[in-house]
Amino acid sequence: MSLFVRLADWQTDRGDIRRIRQKVFVDEQKVPPELEWDEHEESAQHFLIYHHDKPIGTGRLTGGGKIGRMAILKEARGLGAGLELLKRICKFARVSGQKNVYLNAQVQAAPFYEKAGFAASGEEFMEAGISHVRMDLTLSDKEPCENVDDWNR
């Protein structure tokens, strides 16, 4: 599989990041654009994942260990890109000194994050008109999901 994750810079890579998130969140999931783009864009550490040199997904890490804006283009789902992206973000957080990370998962995506070792905490809530749940992960020396045998089941 030709997947590659790299650190991205909002100033340099904004076009690819915006294109992916526009397609996934605004066009596909109908998130209002004014809720998609926020004050964290310039300060967050962004990531891009590529398949055969084409950017197919993005995510970011903001202060306090919050993972967010994870998006994989529809035509690239099922390649394992989401897991690879999540693993790289967690590894970056761990190397940067974070002990814990968290995210607000769309409820329909919670099983994906549970397989990666995240645990739901708290009640479901609405964000951008979509039901979410907070999920937490304590970072250790082992990679998230390293024990998952068949991720694409």
The answer to whether residue 149 is domain-embedded is no
- Kindly state the helix (H) or strand (E) to which residue 114 belongs, with its residue range: helix 110-115
State residue 82's pLDDT score.
96
Q: How many domains are contained in the chain?
A: 1
Neighbours of 10 (CB within 10 A): 16
CATH number assigned to the domain comprising residue 112: 3.40.630.30
- For residue range 2-46, what is the model confidence (pLDDT) as tens digits? 899 999 999 999 999 999 999 999 999 999 999 999 999 999 999
User: In this structure, is residue 153 part of a structural domain?
Assistant: no
Q: What is the pTM of this model?
A: 0.90
Residue 9 φ/ψ region, left for φ over 0, alpha for ψ in the -120 to 50 degree band, beta for the rest: beta
pLDDT of 140 reads 81
Q: Considering the domain boundaries, does residue 89 fall inside one?
A: yes
* Euclidean distance between CA atoms 16 and 38, whole angstroms: 17
What are the backbone angles phi and psi of residue 94, rounded to the nearest 5°? -65, -50
Picking from 17, 47, 143, 149, the residue whose alpha carbon sits closest to that of residue 90 is 143
Residues of the chain falling short of pLDDT 50: 147-153
Q: Is 143 within a domain? A: no
What is the enclosing helix (H) or strand (E) of 126?
Answer: strand 125-127
Is residue 8 in a domain?
A: yes
Provide the 3-class DSSP secondary structure of residue 57. strand
Tell whether 105 is covered by a domain. yes
d(CA 100, CA 10): 24
- The encoded tokens of residue 47 equal 């990531």
Predicted local confidence at residue 70, as pLDDT: 97
Q: What is the distance between the alpha carbons of residues 31 and 11, in angstroms, rounded to a whole number?
A: 23
Task: Give residue 88's domain range.
Answer: 3-138
**Residue 152 counted as domain residue:** no
The pLDDT value recorded for residue 125 is 95
**Among the listed residues 93, 85, 141, 140, the one whose alpha carbon sits nearest the alpha carbon of residue 113:** 85
Q: Kindly give the pairing relationship between strand 54-62 and strand 45-51.
A: antiparallel
